[in-house]
């Protein structure tokens, strides 16, 4: 059974497989109440995700870029059901779901995740067979241990390892091989939607190419839909059909990959693309983007990017820009673009 | 070329076990004052060991087993440790990858800077503090004087790395070894730190060895680049030549495997196989088992990285016309 068949009765193919509307996630990082009472400190709330809306079509890849602390990983964890959003809804195959509530085992099985650090995401005391086979047993996909063993072997071959490797422990593998094992584990429950949070950031360039090629091939083979998170713009460009740019918990731009890289609209996207070190910017250290990402604890009022934005005006400092649709598809949240200044 | 600031001649380093394991084999590199030399390679290729060998920061069982290291006209790999301590931090400074572990969390940035400055320069407390503030200003930290009294945790990642660079500059070194200085930082902050390093190298005439696995960083910052593979020098030459017209099959494969914005390839070219374990290196060229151009000669004879007519060094039999 392919993931397609699993979902065939649930959604027509042109409807989005995954969509989120006004997704928010707040973290309460207040000091303990006794400290607040004694020192009269207020509650402190971080808005890690603020009103995120997007949709992903089946078999497509949405790339997500942004700097540390912009909420990329929080978004991944909300979608994977590893934490509950504070507000907003997620739709999977047309139905509203709350994966963190464990009420949707069928959807939980169809949504899997690959994490950044293959040294931390595999249990060192479990053999590869135990790690990869666990979802098979948990979802009842394998009837017996023998069947499970056979399916794990097939998965290992699928990701470019040998069935004999299943008896080994994570310690015995290199970083690239571990990430292949993590991919095999994610594939074990035959998912339709794979959330990849910086899957190659911990890998060397030559190993990265092999893992990215593997992910591409698996996508074609199994008709997978990807949410691909990375801070590496060339990697996102290579992997994605559409790209979203996040800044301080907000989605500031979302466009088809080519238009985003050829004609970025949001000033943050423009500066991000200019500053990425590349082989073609040889000999000139590109004019770096001034300033730093503000603390999410204390975001600036108005547009969160206004302190670093060369085009910011009075309106940008007080009024928060809402997403506006772009003619070629996608959206941007910027007063300057709206007013035709940028 | 002016007299080299740093001259590494045929350096070899081994991991001394029952059977010594060669981790760096016959590496020769020169660095001129004000020059930025990039060192790239995969994990385990010997990048960091090269830096540690120059600083003599290798601990047992790592040991230099051959070659010479010359700094500013004097040989430094054989001088006593007491002499090396005067060079380390003063003449040759190092910047590490993770700025949080490179700083002591229980002292303010000012205390750490003042201590380092007074270690190397004959200044009193007040003068050292003024110098510390000037250094923080030079590395681009706003309101430097006030920030002296902050602790490392009160700085962001990028600002912390600036503090680490200020600490490295405290002894007014002539050579800085930067080991993955931007790997832990965000893209936009990374660009700022690279620009800072380039500017400091130019304005102070400092030599910089920039160890990184990021070819983009190499392209932006470096004058020349050395590509290491399995503890050996594969290719060394001007950045433009190595990045746009790599000659060693490994450099070619490595550069082709880097995704580029706008390339829109279906699949990335990848080098088949993986880097061999250092205890199972093939007899001839270390890259031979993965090389698409491998010849019989490569399997038995190790190529030397001899300088070619155009100044590029390539350790490959293809260059020899074999």
- Give the integer Cα–Cα distance in Å for A293 and B96: 23
> What is the least distance, in Å, from the CA of A30 to any CA of chain B?
18
Greater confidence (B296 vs A9) lies with B296
**CA quadruple B233, B239, B243, B245: dihedral sign:** negative
Contact A238 B263 (CB under 8 A): yes
Short-list B293, B128, B192, CA closest to A271: B192
> What is the least distance, in Å, from the CA of B115 to any CA of chain A?
28
Quote the DSSP letter at residue A192.
S
Terminal Cα-to-Cα distance of chain A (whole angstroms)? 50
Terminal Cα-to-Cα distance of chain B (whole angstroms)? 31
Q: Residue A282: its pLDDT value, please? A: 63
Whether the predicted pLDDT of A298 surpasses 70: yes
| DSSP H helices in chain B | 47-55, 81-87, 99-102, 109-120, 125-138, 144-147, 157-169, 187-204, 215-221, 239-244, 249-256, 296-300, 317-320
Short-list A119, A121, A97, A117, CA closest to A109: A97
CB of B240 within 8 Å of a chain A CB? The answer is yes
Q: Residue A90: its pLDDT value, please? A: 92
- Give the integer Cα–Cα distance in Å for B174 and B6: 10
Segment-wise mean pLDDT, segments of 10 residues, chain B, 322 residues: 87 92 94 95 89 91 94 94 92 89 94 95 95 92 91 88 93 94 80 88 94 89 95 95 94 92 89 87 93 95 88 91 60
Whether the predicted pLDDT of A99 surpasses 90: no
CB B31 within 8 A of CB B209: yes
CB B91 within 8 A of CB B173: yes
Q: Residue A327: its pLDDT value, please? A: 87
Whether the predicted pLDDT of A67 surpasses 60: yes
Res. A2 pLDDT band, cuts 50 70 90: very low
**Is residue A129 classed as helix, strand or coil in its secondary structure?**
helix
Most confident of A97-106, A191-200, B257-266: A191-200
CB of B269 within 8 Å of a chain A CB? The answer is yes
- Give the integer Cα–Cα distance in Å for B193 and B197: 6
- Give the integer Cα–Cα distance in Å for A147 and A141: 9
- Structure-block tokens of residue A154: 């097939």
- Give the integer Cα–Cα distance in Å for B90 and B85: 9
- Supply the DSSP string of A16-64, one letter for each residue: -SEEEEEEEEEEE-PPPHHHHHHHTPPP-EEEEEEEEEEEE-TT-EEEE
Q: Residue B188: its pLDDT value, please? A: 74
Whether the predicted pLDDT of A152 surpasses 90: yes
Q: Residue A7: its pLDDT value, please? A: 39
Give residues with Cβ within 8 angstroms of B67, minimum separation 6.
B8, B9, B10, B11, B12, B26, B27, B28, B77
> What is the least distance, in Å, from the CA of A67 to any CA of chain B?
6
- Considering CB atoms only, which of B194, B267, B270 is closest to A277? B194
When scoring B36, B45, B139, B188 by the number of chain A Cβ atoms within 10 A, the one with the most, hence best to mutate, is: B188
Helices (H) and strands (E) in chain B, counts: 13, 11
Summarize pLDDT for A153-168 with one digit per residue, the tens. 999 999 999 999 999 9
> What is the least distance, in Å, from the CA of B85 to any CA of chain A?
34
- Give the integer Cα–Cα distance in Å for B109 and B103: 8
Q: Residue B233: its pLDDT value, please? A: 96
Q: Residue A12: its pLDDT value, please? A: 45
- Give the integer Cα–Cα distance in Å for B115 and B132: 10
Res. A202 pLDDT band, cuts 50 70 90: confident
Residue of B nearest to A258 (CA): B262
Q: Residue A1: its pLDDT value, please? A: 37
Q: Residue A284: its pLDDT value, please? A: 54
When scoring B195, B249, B258 by the number of chain A Cβ atoms within 10 A, the one with the most, hence best to mutate, is: B258
């Amino acid at each position: 059974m392919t993931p397609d068949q699993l979902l065939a009765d649930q959604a027509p193919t042109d409807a989005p497989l995954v969509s989120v509307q006004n997704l928010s996630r707040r973290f309460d990082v207040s000091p303990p109440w006794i400290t607040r009472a004694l020192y009269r400190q207020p509650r402190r709330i971080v808005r890690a995700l603020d009103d995120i809306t997007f949709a992903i079509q089946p078999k497509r890849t949405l790339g997500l870029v942004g700097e540390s602390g912009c909420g990329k990983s929080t978004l991944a964890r909300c979608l994977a059901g590893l934490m509950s959003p504070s507000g907003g809804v997620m739709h999977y195959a047309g139905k509203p779901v709350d994966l963190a509530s464990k009420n949707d085992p069928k959807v939980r099985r169809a949504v899997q995740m690959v994490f950044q650090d293959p040294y931390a995401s595999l249990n060192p005391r479990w053999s590869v067979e135990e790690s990869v086979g666990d979802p098979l047993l948990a979802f009842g996909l394998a009837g017996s241990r023998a069947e499970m063993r056979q399916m794990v072997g097939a998965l290992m071959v699928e990701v470019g390892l040998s069935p004999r490797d299943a008896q080994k422990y994570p310690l015995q593998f290199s970083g690239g091989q571990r990430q292949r094992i993590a991919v095999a584990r994610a594939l074990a429950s035959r998912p339709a939607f794979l959330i990849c949070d910086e899957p190659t950031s911990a890998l060397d360039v030559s190993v990265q190419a092999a893992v990215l090629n593997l992910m591409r091939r698996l996508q074609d083979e199994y008709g997978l839909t990807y949410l691909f998170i990375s801070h590496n713009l060339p990697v996102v460009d290579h992997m994605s059909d559409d790209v979203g740019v996040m800044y301080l918990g907000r989605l500031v731009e979302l466009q088809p990959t080519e238009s985003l890289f050829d004609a970025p609209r949001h000033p943050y996207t423009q500066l991000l693309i200019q500053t990425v070190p590349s082989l073609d910017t040889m000999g000139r250290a590109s004019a770096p983007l001034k300033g730093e990402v503000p603390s999410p604890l204390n975001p600036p009022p108005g547009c969160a990017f206004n302190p670093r934005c060369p085009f910011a005006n009075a309106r940008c400092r007080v009024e928060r820009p809402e997403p506006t649709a772009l003619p070629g598809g996608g959206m941007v949240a910027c007063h300057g673009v709206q007013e035709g200044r940028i | 070329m002016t007299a080299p600031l740093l001259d590494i001649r045929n350096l070899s380093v081994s991991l001394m076990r029952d059977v010594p394991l060669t981790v760096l084999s016959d590496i020769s590199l020169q660095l001129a004052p004000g020059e930025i030399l990039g060192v790239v390679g995969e994990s385990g290729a010997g990048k960091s060991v090269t830096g540690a060998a120059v600083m003599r920061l290798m601990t047992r069982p790592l040991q230099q087993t051959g070659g010479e290291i010359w700094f500013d006209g004097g040989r430094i790999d054989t001088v006593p440790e007491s002499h090396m301590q005067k060079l380390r931090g003063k003449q040759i400074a190092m910047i590490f990858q993770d700025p949080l572990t490179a700083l002591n969390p229980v002292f303010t940035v000012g205390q750490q800077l003042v201590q380092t400055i007074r270690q190397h320069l004959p200044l009193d407390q007040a003068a050292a503090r003024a110098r510390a503030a000037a250094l923080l200003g030079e590395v681009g930290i706003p309101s430097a004087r006030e920030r002296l009294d902050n602790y490392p945790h009160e700085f962001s990642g990028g600002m912390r790395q600036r503090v680490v660079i200020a600490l490295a500059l405290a002894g007014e070194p002539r050579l800085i070894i930067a080991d993955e200085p931007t790997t832990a930082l965000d893209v936009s902050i990374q660009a700022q730190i690279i620009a800072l390093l380039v500017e400091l190298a130019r304005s102070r005439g400092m030599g910089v060895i920039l160890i990184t696995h990021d070819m983009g960083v190499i392209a932006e910052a470096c004058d020349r680049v050395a590509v290491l593979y399995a503890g050996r020098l594969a290719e060394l030459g001007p950045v433009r030549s190595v990045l746009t017209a790599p000659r060693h099959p490994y450099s070619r494969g490595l550069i082709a495997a880097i995704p580029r914005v706008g390339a829109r390839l279906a699949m990335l070219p990848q080098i088949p196989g993986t880097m061999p374990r250092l205890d199972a290196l093939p007899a001839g060229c270390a890259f031979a088992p993965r090389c698409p151009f491998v010849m019989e000669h490569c399997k038995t004879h190790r190529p030397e990285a001899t300088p070619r007519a155009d100044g590029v060094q390539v350790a490959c039999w293809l260059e020899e016309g074999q």
